[in-house]
Each structure stands twice: as structure tokens, then as C-alpha cells.
A and B are shown apart, each in its own frame.
Chain A
Amino acid sequence: MNLTFGFIALFISIIIPGILFRRYYYYGEFSKQFHTKDPVLHSIFLSIIPGVCVQIIVFYILSEMNFFDIENIKIFNIYKDFSFLESKEINSDTVKFFQDGLGKFILYSIIVFLFASLSGILSSKLLRFLKLDIKFKIFRFKNQWYYIFSGEVLDFEKFRIAKNVQFNELPENQNVLLTYADVLVSNNQGNRELYSGYVVDYDLNQDDISKLEKLYLLDAFRYKKPNSSNYFEANDKTSFSSTSESFRIIQISNESYNSSRLRVSIPGDLLVLAGENIQNINLTYIPSKKMAEIKSNKKDRTLKKVLYSIFLINSILIILHLILPFINYGEYSFIDNYKLNTTFLEKIVFLIYFYQFTAIGIPSKDELGNYSYNFKKSMLPRIVVFILITISVYVYYIN
């Protein structure tokens, strides 16, 4: 019984926030890393560290906001009473907690759960946003198939070197438009067949997420040996229906009559291949629009520098505003004066005003992705908005 009460307290305050954090941390394609089939002890163990972190952060924030006014020793006494319920008399702090503080504790727990869920998804998204999972192996999710099929694998340290060796010319940070796959599959009779198509989705094995369960291909074709009954001589890029089979045989240009395999279109919308039959996969990453970008010339590089400098100045200003309340700049100093004499919203207006001013100097991107200054399209509207803000701020101050 003693253990049960202690465990319940631990479960509510540490384990549940930890589980919630992990549940939301593994989002989207990585959600297979968290599943309910995990052994209980394993789940509990993995939830302790995030649970403790969430609990400390929420406790600190809420105590700073005066959500509750309780001394740490009283919390310790209550937890001690929960853990040794039979061997000791109930402390007065515990009695008071049951009389007055139970509702607040429930509200506090709900806030902790919400914070755990929110921080889980946000920290995971931030990690992906900063590409930390690609740069550092320690942050990498276990779903290696996602990295492979999405093409992000090419940005891994080891593959960057291989990229120069392989003839695939994807530049740095190249987005992948589509992933084209040639998949060799063996059937139950031991025969091997080659399929090709665009990878649209995949399933992972429930018990072992490193194994592929299914692979989904769009616009799928299969390759077959040519024979007289189903091979038609055709001109470049011609397609037609076979009378003996309901397949279309596509003749791609330069494909010779005596080629070892013919490509046969598979009627249907989606081809699902069983992972256990897949022998190997050859992937081709088709680059996205960025490839069409002309290599940046000198002018382009200069304008990019301007853009980054403005971004840097603005970022520094934001950081300064964030740390402003915590630093004493000295009495009567300009910054201290600004800090004390402006409200929160006035600071935001100042930031917008400053950003609008700097935005006038930001070059815009044309259709080809080159940076340039276009007075009519980009600079003039910014100047007009800047003048409007100036007028509104002026009107505000003279009133």
C-alpha cells in the first residue's frame, strides 16, 4: 500500500509527463519509435528524464508567476507522507494539502501535462528545423528509412563525401522533388522481378522499426523479358495496349529491340510491395526547383550578404529585447531609460518600426531565384508602409 501511494505520486508527477513528452516528441514519420507495445518498465525508465525536466521547468515558471506559495520543505513532507503512509503519522502539511490544495494540485498537474505535450512536439520540430538530427547522430531518429526515402540521407556527414563520388549531382541542401526507386523483388517460387516507380510511402515493421514492412510506388512499371507475343516494335515515346495482356508496353527512346528487359506499365493507381520480398532498392533522387537556379554571381552574393546582415541586426535586436528585463544597464543609461519608460507593446511597435525601416534595404528574389532591387514591386510598398507607421507613431506621441 505504501509503495502504491508513492508510486502513484511518482507516476502522476514524473512518469505521465515523461510519457506525454515522448509521445509528442516522436511525431509524423517518427511516431513508430513510440508505441504502446513497449515493455512497461522500459517506457517508465525512458520517461523519467524528460518527466523530471518538465516538472522542474513548470515548477520554476509557476512559482515565479506566484501560481502557488508553498515552501519546498512542505512538498517534501507531503511526498514523505505518501511514501510512508502506514509507518508514520500524517504531517500537518499533508492535512492542509488535502483540505485546501488538492484542486490546485490537479490544475497544476494538467498544466504540467499540457506543457509536456507542447514541449515534446516543439522540441522535436525545433530539432528538425535546425537539422540537428542530420548534423549530429545523437539526435537522429531511429527511422532510417525516412532519411533514405526523403533524400535527407545525402546530407549526412558520411554521405556528403560519397555524393562527390557518385554521379548524382545534387548540390548542398538540395531539396528532393521525388524519389525514384528500382526495386528487385523475389517471389515465393524464387523468381526475381524488377519494379520501378516513385516512392510515395512506406510502412515499418511493428516489432522491428529498422525493417521495411511495405513500400508504396506511384506510376509503377515492371520489367519483363522480351518475347515475340508481347513485344511490339515502336517509335520513340509511344504507348499502346497489348492484345494478349492488359499491360501497356512503353518504348522509351533509344531502347533497342534486343534490350534484356522490357518495361511494362502496371495498370492501377498504387503498387504495394511487401518488404519481406524486397531484395534490394536502387534510388534516384530527382532534384527540385533549386537545381534550376543559376549559380550565384558576384552581385547576387553581395545582395545575399546584405540580406544576411539585416537579418543578423534584427535578430540581435530581438535577443536584446528578450534579455532586456534581466540586465541592469546602469541608472540613467539610455537602455535602462528605454527599458523602464516603454511598455511591452511600445517595444513591439518599436521593433516593427525598425524592421520596416531595414526592410526597405532588403533585396527581393526574382522568378529565377536571383536577388535584385525592384523599386516598384518591393521597395515602394515598403516605403509607403514605413511612412504610414511613422505617421501613426507621430500622432501617438503628440497626443
Chain B
Amino acid sequence: MNLKKLPSILGVFAFFLIIKHFFCVFFKRTETNIISDEGIKILENPDKKQDLRKAVDEYHRTGDWSKTSLKKII
């Protein structure tokens, strides 16, 4: 094996890895979704869903998220 080629192979591999990572982050952060992935997960769970609705009600009464049980849900 020609060791001179090793950094070149590493370089090319790393280069494509960086590009792939960059595009993944770039496209993930520029998605146009109304509902977040975490939000969907909460709504899929019946208990959390009910707790979340209760937290929203509490928030409507108090106007302060820290006074609600939201932290426990998310």
C-alpha cells in the first residue's frame, strides 16, 4: 500500500463527509414544517396529549409556562 495515498484518501473521504453533514444540517434547519417532530411524538402519546392540553389551559389562566407542567411533558 502506498502510504502517500493515505492522506489523499482520508482527505477525499472527510471532504464528502463534511459536505454530507453540512447538507443534512442545512436541509434539516430549513424545513418548513408547521408541527415539530417532538410535537408529533407528544400527540402520539395519549397521556402526554392530555397533560399537554391541561398545561395549555393552565397557561391560559396564569400566562406563565413555568407555572404549568410543560417541563415534565417535553
Contact = CB atoms under 8 A, between A and B. Distances in A.
A178 B39 contact: yes
B34 A286 contact: no
Interface in B1-53: 3-4, 6-8, 10-12, 14-15, 26-27, 29-36, 38-39, 42-43, 49-50, 52-53
A24 interface: no
Interface in A135-185: 146, 149-150, 167-169, 175-180
Contacts of B65: 169, 287, 291
A394 B21 CA distance: 28
A272 B59 CA distance: 26
Give the one of A177, A200, A352 with max B CB within 10 A.
Answer: A177
A396 B6 contact: yes
A129 interface: yes
A178 B26 CA distance: 22
A128 B28 CA distance: 11
A395 B2 CA distance: 11
A200 B4 contact: no
Interface stretch (A3-11, A85-93, A342-350): A342-350
A30 B32 contact: yes
B32 A199 contact: no
Nearest to B12: A345
Contact of B71 (A27, A29, A128, A291): A291
B64 A399 contact: no
Contacts of B43: 178, 198, 218-219
B14 to A, nearest CB: 5
B29 A129 contact: yes
Contacts of B60: 284
A148 to B, nearest CB: 10
Contacts of B42: 177-178
B65 to A, nearest CB: 6
B33 A150 contact: yes
Interface of A: 27-30, 125, 128-129, 146, 149-150, 167-169, 175-180, 198-202, 218-219, 237, 250, 252-254, 284, 286-289, 291-292, 343, 345-346, 348-349, 352, 392-393, 395-396, 399
Given A178-B36, A291-B71, A392-B6, 18 more contacts: A28-B31, A29-B34, A30-B32, A128-B29, A129-B26, A146-B32, A167-B64, A178-B39, A178-B42, A201-B35, A218-B43, A219-B53, A237-B50, A252-B53, A288-B39, A289-B38, A349-B7, A349-B11
